[in-house]
Structure 1
Amino acid sequence: MEKRTIVETGPGIAAGLRDLPRHLNLKTAGAGLVAAIFGCSGPALIVIGGARNGGLTDGQTVAWLFAIYFLGGLISIFLALRYKQPITGAYSIPGAALVAGSLAAFSFNEAIGAFIMAGAIVFLLGVSGLIGRVMRWLPMPIVMAMIAGALIRFATGAVSAVGSAPIIAGAAIVAFFVSMRVTKTVPPVLSAFVVGLLAAFAMGSVGGGSADIAFVMPEFTAPAFTLDAFLAISVPLALLVIGAENAQATGVLMAEGYRPPINMMTIVSGIGGVAAGLLGGHNANIAGPMTAICSSEQAGENTEGRYAATVVNGILFGTFGLVAGAAVPVVMSLPGALIGTVAGLAMIGVLLAAFQNAFGKSLGNQTGAFVALAVAMSKLSLLGISAPFWALVAGVAVSFIVDRKALLDSERKSLATS
């Protein structure tokens, strides 16, 4: 039996840097750009809106944005180069919504202390190796069904955008499939973005962003540690990072044929959570949807080179964090229909792989996989934890009841490879 270390080894940063130039091309750069635009647009509004509702100053808001975007970019660059996998860093979007709501009951000082404690929880779970063992034990069909259910909203969002902005969304969709048919050089998702953006300009739909933060220096806030904030913010936020973002990213990478370093992803997410808290942000961790974009076939046919998309994304993300106060209004001027359409189109390959790996005829745990799909597609939220986590719990529970043999077979296979 091969001895497994807690912190997974990889090719190393030197190897990642050495091979990076030959993997940088239009497809990897295009996927990295699309992922960055996705992460720097709508999700930023959640943070800005939460900061405004919580009475934060512009300096505190910019510090929050700097923490999560700059550190998220560093996570992308570090993990992509070390493991030569498209492991993309950002922050938890549901976590931002959770924090936005909690600011009505807690001071920002208490919230900062809770952010740091949440990062510490994630770090301890990572160094224990527990998360890695759990993720390797989970039956693949259930994990893949969770991924399909969690990401299907991006595909349906692209369809919904046709109703709200038919010319912009329609132009992007047509460009995507025509580009897929006529050329292998230009990534279809980049064609969709360019054509959609031209249509948006023609329609006069670019401009008028809702964010109006001027460029100001970040204002850092001293943490205050309280038990109430720990229970109300730290524990749910830590579970969101592990059970939603990291679990999604892990499943996506597995679906694309990678062997993700689960323990290191958890450890880095914990360190990112503590560091982001010290800088004034709610967490910096592995991003599920952005990892899906950078690891998809839109980043090129060569899976070994897709990590270059994450490096491009990391550079753009980190730069956005450095100039957040001035950059947010520019990105917010892009129409939401365009961003939603392009993000949905970028998910097609990931969703196809997830469905195939969840419901193939030769696979077991089919009932549990269907339950995981249904729960992940829902808007379920219990104990402050969103649907993807409960999808895994429900899928395993149902498999244990109705298909215990297939579940035990998955466990034996996991032990055999540990």
Structure 2
Amino acid sequence: MGKIFSDMSVSALVAGFVAVLIGFASSVVIVFQAAQSAGADSNVIVSWIMALGLGMGGTCFFLSLWYRAPVITAWSTPGAALLVTSLGSITYAEVIGVFVFAGVLTLLTGLSGLFDKVMRLVPLPIACAMLAGVLFKFGLSIFDSMMSDTFLVGVMLMTYLVSKRFVPRYSVLFVLLAGVSLVLARSEESFLAVIPLTLGHFVWVWPEWNLSALIGVGLPLYIVTMTSQNIPGVAVMRSNGYHTPVSPLISWTGFTSIVLAPLGGFAFNLAAITAAICSGDECHKDPKRRYIAGLSAGVFYVLAGLAGVSVVALFSVFPTTMITALAGIALLGTIGMNLKSAMIDDVNREAALVTFLVTVSGVSFVGIASAFWGILFGVICLLISKIKHK
């Protein structure tokens, strides 16, 4: 405990909070839609949010503490989007069976060590290019948001530029404070007036098995989570110098998915966007002390899960322009660092550029997201270039 307290810093604690804020606010609506598509009522939806919060909180906290690295987990946003359109007429108990099945596949992938072996074959410039492509749209979102709310986003961006010059470790904190202050100043009613101060409760449903649902929904849920979430998540860790064993992390997310699936924890995975916030220089200049951001995110995720309805209502108060601008500004340094790492090597530059462009394009073949295809195309280009030089 003494070591943890000595390693604490305001910037790392804020990074954890911002990660949770962005993680919840950016995609919680998709989770609501997924739950409604599964036939969930309001009580079951709250159970989903609580299970997801506790699952992410527990894995963030204990994995970060064990490995002394910022291990950030998240729910599968692409997985939730898949559920919105794919569940059809299957019963809610069969939906739970789909969640358990996808979790079992993830656990087996981790225990087999296959995912770790595959990731070791991906050169760092290719991984950095893919990550830059994943994050690129968040950088663009700053200026898209500025078109909708010029004053709010303009003040946040200017706050970042000035604070980055004088107090770089706390720049994201000042941006957050500036955004919240402006939103409060413009609001005509108190936050407490629109936020119910109530706690939700868990709803446990035993899984039932439908073979067509397992193959038609469970298998795609597993694939999209591995390719769209876990691959970028590993790239974040590697690009920031963390060589934490991947297989145990994948195993724990799969195990957590299995345990919490009956409560609505549909899929857990390594985070990419929020992990980048907790792994960069803005979190802390010393990489060995950034694990505090993982502990911080874990605590805030648990609080968000326990608060249930109250926290979701709180996040809904903040305008979308503020959330998207905050995410983009917090990731500017990470985008720049990964672009530099991807393009600095003449030998790998063309392959990295192809990776970046394919990832940014958002192409999707056979339901697999562009992050996977970016890496695949980049590796193929790299192999061809090496043959050409012989």
TM bin, normalised by shorter chain, reads over 0.9
In structure 2, the partner of 1:389 is: 372
Q: 1:369 aligns with which of 348, 352, 357?
A: 352
Q: How does 1:239-388 map to 2 (within 5 A)?
A: 239-362=223-346, 364-388=347-371
> What is the letter of the counterpart of residue 343 of structure 1?
A
2:17 aligned to which of 24, 30, 33: 33
1:102 to 68, 72, 86: 86
Q: Does the CA contact (< 8 Å) of 1:208 and 1:333 recur in 2?
A: no
CA-CA distance at 1:128 after TM superposition: 0.9
Equivalent residues of 1:246, 1:265 under 8 A apart: no
Instruction: State the 1:118 CA deviation.
Output: 0.7
Deviates more, 1:216-225 or 1:147-156: 216-225
Tell me the secondary structure at the aligned position of residue 142 of structure 1: helix
Q: Name the counterpart of 1:124.
A: 108
Q: In structure 1, how many angstroms separate the alpha carbons of the residues matched to 2:98 and 2:192?
A: 35
Q: Match of 1:285, SS? A: strand
CA change 1:153–1:105 in 2 (3 A) is farther
Partner amino acid for 1:395? G
Amino acid of the residue matched to residue 148 of structure 1? A
Distance 2:224 2:7 in 1: 33
Structure 2 residue runs of 5 or longer lacking an equivalent are: none
CA distance in 2, matches of 1:105, 1:359: 48
Residue type matched to 1:38 in 2?
I
Task: Please say if 1:200 is aligned against 2:183.
Answer: yes
Give distance in 1, aligned partners of 2:171 and 2:272: 21
Amino acid at match of 1:190: L
Q: Deviations over 1:361-408 (max 9, x none)?
A: 34x3333222211121122223332221221222222333344479x9
**Match of 2:220?**
236
Q: Distance in 2 between matches of 1:250 and 1:227?
A: 31
Name the % identity. Answer: 28
- Deviation for aligned residue 1:77: 0.5
Separation (CA, whole Å) in 2 of partners of 1:177 and 1:66:
37
Question: Given the two structures, how large is their TM-score scaled by the length of structure 1?
Answer: 0.87
Q: Is the 8 A contact 2:194 2:313 kept in 1?
A: yes
Distance change (3 Å), C-alpha of 1:387 and 1:106: farther
**Contact 2:198/2:307, CA 8 A, preserved across alignment:** no
TM-fit CA distance, 1:213: 11
Q: Distance in 1 between matches of 2:192 and 2:11?
A: 30
Q: State how far apart, in whole Å, the 2-side matches of 1:198 and 1:324 are.
A: 24
Q: 1:377 to 1:210 in 2, by over 3 A?
A: farther
DSSP-derived class of the 1:223 partner: coil
1:162 to 124, 146, 149: 146
SS state of the match for residue 80, structure 2?
Answer: helix
Post-superposition offset of 1:226: 1.7
Q: 1:212 to 1:398 in 2, by over 3 A?
A: farther
How far apart, CA to CA, are the structure 1 residues paired with 2:128 and 2:194? 36
- In structure 2, the residue matched to 1:223 is 207
Check whether the contact 2:65–2:291 (CA below 8 A) recurs between aligned residues: yes
In 2, Cα distance between the equivalents of 1:72 and 1:59?
20
Deviations 1:140-170 (A, max 9, x none): 2111111000111111111211111111111
> CA deviation digits over 1:245-287, x for unaligned, max 9?
2211211111111212211111112112212313222112221
8 Å Cα contact 2:202/2:263 also seen in 1: no
Q: Write the distance in 1 (CA, Å) between the matches of 2:15 and 2:322.
A: 15
Q: 1:4-19 to 2 correspondence within 5 Å?
A: 17-19=1-3
The offset of 1:235, in angstroms, is 1.6
In 2, distance between residues paired with 1:124 and 1:230? Answer: 16
Is the 1:276–1:283 contact (alpha carbons within 8 Å) kept by the matching residues of 2?
no
Per-residue deviation, 1:210: 11
- Mapped contact 1:255–1:350 kept (Cα < 8 A): no
98-107 vs 144-153, greater mean Cα deviation: 98-107
Q: CA, structure 1 residues 162+104, in 2 after alignment: closer, same or farther (shift >3 Å)? A: same
Residue 362 of structure 2 aligns to which amino acid in structure 1? K
1:234, 1:227 → 2: CA distance? 10
Q: Matched residue of 1:297: which SS?
A: coil
Paired position in structure 2 for 1:56:
40
* Structure 1 spans left out of the alignment, 5+ residues: 1-16, 409-418
Q: Secondary structure at the match of 1:298?
A: coil
Cα distance in 2 for partners of 1:210, 1:375 equals 43
Measured against aligned partners, the alpha-carbon deviations of 1:261-318 in whole angstroms (never above 9, x if no partner) come to 2111111121122123132221122211111110011111111100101110110011
Q: CA deviation at 1:103?
A: 2.8
How far apart, in 1, do the equivalents of 2:276 and 2:160 lie?
18
